[in-house]
Structure 1
Amino acid sequence: VKVKHATCESVSSPISITDTFSAMVMPSGGPFEVCAHEEFYLYLQLPTGGNLTWFYYENDKALTEVLNQQSSEVHTFKTGYYYAQVNKNACVFETDPKHVVVYPSDSVFVPNIFTPNGDIYNPVFQASGAVAEISLQIINRYGKTIFIGDGYKGWDGGDAASGIYFWTVQYPGCRNEPKTKRGTVHLFR
């Protein structure tokens, strides 16, 4: 800047004002894989005097959603990218996005009764759920395995008599770990 007034001349050098702050979303690393029934939070240590806003986008950053403001943590409830923006003293800092993959819960439903009696109601004993595959094993009251097959296709009862049968289903959990459930089913003819 140069200022001239009558016989005086003043020269000053340009100055640069910077606020050196940074913020990092924790935990570090990623991508993070979580199951829908688990609570997973990202958090950020907010610099003193800063304002914080969390953002989310699925694939395209142009379609970003504002999640919340002034909270040092955010609950990751769906698959996508999460990042924070910190405003402090007219400076803006944006964190690197954290990729979070939220897998559906591995719930499996197995009924306790079925009626393979020739009508259209409940003719097959079958499991259902939000998992890729379910294997089904049926055991009679004498401990003999009488059926092994696909839990989604189920068991039609074959020539088994009315009564109580034991079942075991095996399926991959949320993180592809093996899961097993056991129970009983009433077969009514």
Structure 2
Amino acid sequence: MKRALILIDVINDFMHPQGVNYYPVYDEVLSAVRQVLSVARRAGWMIVHVRETHPLHHGEDFEFEKLPQHCLEGSQAVEWAEGIEVLPGEYVVQKRRYSAFFETDLNLLLREKGIEQVVVVGVKTHVCVRATVQDAFGWGFRPVVVREAVGSNHTHLHLASLEDIQRYMGEVISLEEFEHWA
């Protein structure tokens, strides 16, 4: 089965202590994401780095009705987190909504490469990770989430989302299971 790793919002806004959406639990998430990324690269998987990016002078952005301005194009906030560099041959997808599939070419990229299964890591579990997993399932990909490589600032929503993903959309596995499975 052809697999791809999809990294969701592993950027400074979430992963750097000065980021607007940083939470200390993300330090452990980032460490696990780095491990998953290393394993996926060694296995020769397709790697897709997805980051939320909003145009600088677009105050009418629909998302800003629910959230304050964040992840502005060209800012330090949308730079990749420490240890997460994009290597030649890897893909970058910019998104403006929660799902990495919504109004992006992610689906087309995955289909062109014959991908059947996607491993999703990053933040926030109950928002962007879950939305991406749900859309991956809807498009016919088999989603897998690595438990230690996703996180949220709301533990109860994080746990509920992992339960929903396992029950309805895909698989949730441990980092240890991933390292043996990949």
Q: What is the TM-score when the length of structure 2 is the normalising length?
A: 0.17
Q: Which has the larger radius of gyration?
A: 1
Specify which structure has the higher proportion of strand: 1
Structure with bigger RCO (C-alpha 8 Å, 6+ apart): 2
Q: Could you tell me the TM-score, scaled by structure 1's length?
A: 0.17
| Higher-helix-fraction structure | 2
